[in-house]
Amino acid sequence: MSEAGGPPELFGAAWTGIARAALGADARVRTESHWFRGTIRLACPERYVVVQFGESELTVRPGREQDEFRFGFVGSADTWTKLLTDSRASLNRLVRSGDIELDGDRVGAMQSWRLNYLIIEALSTRSESVANGSLTGQPVAAR
């Protein structure tokens, strides 16, 4: 959490720790990621998170601009917050509208779309893994 007791800074160290736990606890992400090897980068201005899938491990860590990645998604902090909290927002819609940009291997991103979708779902406030909206400070949306 931030010093003021609000949500942790988007893609900051505390946020990354919560994201690591949420992704590691999500059975659908673990199942879908068995075939995927590589690094996905989530980015908003000056802040990055790297999600790396290895042979038998998942790594989520703060990233840097110069980190290598297979593909990534770039958007403003407001857009990421909307994606993670608004049940009407979807990665597909935000990419198609240009609010979130694909970076890197576009074909690889499309081939891995189900995994990308599951990652966002696991990180969203709609996920039971992110109890009480701890990534965003927003309450978990009603299902």
Residue 113 lies in a domain: yes
Q: Say if 137 falls within a structural domain.
A: no
Structural domains of the chain, count:
1
DSSP one-letter code for 104 = E
The reply to whether 68 falls in a domain is: yes
- Domain CATH code at residue 103: 3.30.1050.10
Residue 4 confidence (pLDDT): 52
pLDDT tens digits along 61-107: 999 888 899 999 999 999 998 898 888 889 999 999 999 999 999 99
Residue 12 has pLDDT above 80, yes or no: yes
The Cα 10–Cα 28 span in angstroms is 23
The predicted structure's pLDDT at residue 125? 66
| DSSP states of 35-54 | G--EEEEEEETTEEEEEEE-
Region 100-125: what's the mean pLDDT? Answer: 91
On whether residue 6 sits in a domain, the answer given is no
Residue 84 lies in a domain: yes
Question: pLDDT digits over 27-39, tens only?
Answer: 999 888 888 889 9
Give the span between the Cα atoms of 120 and 135, in whole angstroms: 12
140 lies in a domain?
A: no
d(CA 8, CA 1): 4
pLDDT computed for residue 76 by the predictor? 94
Q: How confident is the model at residue 135 (pLDDT cuts 50, 70, 90)?
A: low
Please indicate, yes or no, if residue 4 is contained in any of the structural domains.
Answer: no
**The domain containing residue 74 runs over which residues?**
13-128
Interval 102-114 mean pLDDT: 93
Kindly state whether residue 5 falls inside one of the protein's structural domains. no
CB atoms inside a 10 Å sphere around CB 23? 22
